Amino acid sequence: MQRQFDSFVSGAPDVLAVHWGWVIALGILIGALGILAIIRARMATFIAVGFLGALLIVSAVSVLIFAFSAAGLWTDFFVHVLWAVLLAIVGIMLLTRPAISAEAITLLIAFYFIAEGILVIGFALTSQIDGLWMYLLQGGVALLLGALLVTGWPFTGLWAIGTFLGIDLLFKGWGIIALGFGLRAISEGALL
């Protein structure tokens, strides 16, 4: 991973390297949004669910336009119209009932973590791989996260999505800040 980052930074255009301060500012802004999402996890959950609902409604309109504009078989037309109606219904449900929608999405995430944990541990135990303990740890953490979400459900549904989103934004912010410092080193001639 470090080699890919180094090759990206060393191959960055000079124009980007000159404006490294903006990249660091963007990283700080994204990290701050991550911290805010962690602190206000319930609000971030509702915003994320609402955004997903809006995306589904836009997708429904796009699929419906495609159904009427594409020439083809009638069965294709009806499948696309049915798909558009289903997308619209789910999108409207997400927009009008964000709390229940967040709880349902959190339950799906919990089942995903449990299935991932079982599969990763099973893979680690049945294959001859180096770093067996890393796979076992990854599977154990996934199982633990899934179990925590399921045992606290439905209350975890109100904060889990916002917390996960905040943690993701925080790590992305750190990565962008690191990129900015790498670009600064290029602009100062340290990596040339």
- Give residue-wise pLDDT tens across range 98-140: 888 888 888 888 888 889 888 888 888 888 777 777 888 888 8
Collapsing DSSP to helix, strand or coil, 68 comes out as helix
Cβ within 8 Å of residue 109, ≥6 positions away: 149, 160, 161, 164
In total, the chain counts a number of residues equal to 192
pLDDT in tens, 53-88: 999 999 999 988 888 777 666 667 788 888 899 999
Please compute the mean of the pLDDT values over residues 14-21 and round it to a whole number: 68
**pTM, full prediction:** 0.67
